[in-house]
Amino acid sequence: MSTTTFRFQALAADGRTVNGQLEASDETAALRELLLRGLKPLQVAAVGAAPVAAAMGGGRRRANAGDRIALLRELATLLGAGVSLSEALPSLAEAYSGHALGPGLALADRAVRSGQRLSEGLRASGAGLPPYVFALAQAGEASGALAEALADAATQLEHEHRIAQELRNALIYPAVLVVSGVLAVGVIFVGVVPRFASLLTSARAEVPALSRWTIEGGLFVKQHLLQFGLGAAALACLAVVVLADPGLRARALDAASRLPLIGAWLVRVDVGRWATVLATLLANRVPIVDAIGLSAGALSLRRLRETLQPAVGEIQQGRMLSDVLAAYGWFPPARVNLIRVGERAGELPRMLATLGTMETESARTLQKRVLALIEPAAILIIGAVIGIIMIAVMLAITSLNTAAV
């Protein structure tokens, strides 16, 4: 395995600042090595790269998905390297002391020292981890493969984070296009159209109805510009509130999931994520009834969660998962058959993981189609509005010239 030279700055146990270099396969391995040496990393960077604050250093800020992924990977790496849990947790708690995850890690450390399991300590930490992480940790504790279970949890979190990041990145260009178009229409409507208001009172021109409505509309907006600005700000604040409130966001997603094409895309994203989470839980020997209940937390759409709730009872009564999903209609028959084959061959986790990948790819294809429609639709609508405004202005000017003749 190739290694990279990292330079670091860290705090020793006696408070001294230590600077140096070490060889490691990646930054996580470098952080682990420093922790094993009893050092608190402050900065770690590959030689030739600009130094950056280590994930466990720096000032307090709100923890994000990347922080949680890094934490799980670091804990899994330490345990996999043979460091005991009683040593790994205090080291991480001290290293993250200046981080938003620090207080939660300290709580988890105290819980483990008092005799609780790591899964219970993580649940009590308030680190914002999804429920399936605790189930994976519990399964890893039962099987003696805690490091592998935590690594699987980090991989699943990273998968979800990558999908969300891809979606945000894909929406940047359409959002910029729409905002730019709206601003362009606003500038024309408020800055250009009112300049032709004198035509409405001119005795030499018989202004067409379209021109009259457009000019009067521009005048009205200009005269009430403050009110329109406050209204736009209120709508923006409302959108922020909806996105920040989990309940409102869930209702907005449910409403969007019933739209043509967009709805199919959202359902495919949700189902793909659910299948991957369920596969990870089953691969770590979580009982299928518990795994289905926990995997429901990975579903963003409330109507899908409500559909899945009866599945637990049906499976407890002896029905196969493939039969239950076939009745729900979440997957095409060919993909349900994959689950059926996995059940018969004892390879259900692997088949579900494959199914999750297939659904995620289908969601990406639908995403491209949705975005391919949004861009030309936005251009056509904005172009049509600007075109109508220009035609109205030209008709007004033409009516003046015609009257003069």
Same domain flag for 198 and 283: yes
Q: What's the whole-number mean pLDDT along residues 144-150?
A: 85
Cβ density class 381-390: b for 16+ within 10 Å, e for less: ebeebeeebe
Output DSSP code: residue 52: E
Domain extent, residue 47, equals 4-53
pLDDT at 50: 44
Higher pLDDT: 14 or 56? It is 14
pLDDT category of residue 53 using cuts at 50, 70 and 90: very low
Q: How far apart are CA 7 and CA 30, in angstroms?
A: 9
Side chain identity, residue 89:
L
- Tell me the β-bridge partners of 20: 8
pLDDT category of residue 56 using cuts at 50, 70 and 90: very low
Q: Say whether pLDDT at 313 is over 80.
A: yes
pLDDT at 57: 43
- Tell me the β-bridge partners of 21: 7
Check: CB of residue 69 under 8 Å from CB of residue 159: no
pLDDT at 127: 79
pLDDT at 41: 64
Structural domains counted in the chain: 3
Residue 168 is part of a domain; what is its CATH number?
1.20.81.30
pLDDT at 370: 80
- Locate all alpha helices (DSSP H) within 1-144, ordered by sequence: 27-36, 65-80, 85-95, 102-113, 118-125, 131-143
Higher pLDDT: 87 or 30? It is 87
Mean pLDDT of the chain: 80
Same domain flag for 220 and 363: yes
Q: What's the whole-number mean pLDDT along residues 310-326?
A: 86
Percentage of the chain beyond pLDDT 90 is 0
pLDDT at 43: 67
pLDDT at 254: 84
Q: Which helix (H) or strand (E) holds 4?
A: strand 4-11
Q: Say whether pLDDT at 404 is over 60.
A: no
Same domain flag for 189 and 226: yes
Residue 136 lies in a domain: yes
Domain stop point among 116, 143, 170: 143
pLDDT at 15: 63
CA 359 to chain centre: 17
Check: CB of residue 393 under 8 Å from CB of residue 211: yes
Q: Say whether pLDDT at 202 is over 70.
A: no
C-alpha torsion angle, residues 200, 206, 210, 216 (rounded to 10): 10
> ∠ CA 120-121-124 to the nearest 5 degrees?
90
Percentage of the chain beyond pLDDT 70 is 88
Residue 305 lies in a domain: yes
Residue 66 lies in a domain: no
Same domain flag for 308 and 350: yes
Same domain flag for 120 and 263: no
Cα end-to-end distance, the chain, whole Å: 87
Same domain flag for 291 and 361: yes
Same domain flag for 190 and 300: yes
Side chain identity, residue 93:
A
* 46 phi and psi angles, rounded to 5 deg: -65, 145
Check: CB of residue 35 under 8 Å from CB of residue 90: no
- Tell me the β-bridge partners of 52: 44
Distance of CA 325 to CAs 124, 196, 335, Å?
34, 64, 10
Domain stop point among 117, 143, 169: 143
pLDDT at 369: 81
pLDDT at 386: 86
Q: How many residues comprise the chain?
A: 405
Domain stop point among 115, 143, 171: 143
Q: Say whether pLDDT at 22 is over 60.
A: yes
Same domain flag for 348 and 209: yes
pLDDT category of residue 14 using cuts at 50, 70 and 90: low
Q: Say whether pLDDT at 52 is over 70.
A: no
Residue 297 lies in a domain: yes
Q: What's the whole-number mean pLDDT along residues 263-292?
A: 85
Residue 233 lies in a domain: yes
Same domain flag for 274 and 241: yes
Same domain flag for 301 and 372: yes
Side chain identity, residue 145:
A
Higher pLDDT: 214 or 403? It is 214
Q: Say whether pLDDT at 3 is over 80.
A: no
Higher pLDDT: 17 or 373? It is 373
Pick from 308, 255, 297: which is nearest to 273 by CA? 297
Residue 371 lies in a domain: yes
Residue 369 lies in a domain: yes
Q: What's the whole-number mean pLDDT along residues 191-198?
A: 81
Q: What is the pLDDT of residues 251-264, one digit of tens each?
A: 888 888 888 878 88
Same domain flag for 396 and 264: yes
Q: Which helix (H) or strand (E) holds 191?
A: none
pLDDT at 225: 84
pLDDT at 48: 59
Residue 82 lies in a domain: yes
Q: Which helix (H) or strand (E) holds 46?
A: strand 40-46
Output DSSP code: residue 201: G
Check: CB of residue 110 under 8 Å from CB of residue 192: no
Distance of CA 170 to CAs 158, 263, 309, 363, 372, Å?
18, 17, 32, 13, 11
pLDDT at 405: 47
Q: What's the whole-number mean pLDDT along residues 238-266?
A: 79
pLDDT at 115: 84
Same domain flag for 193 and 324: yes
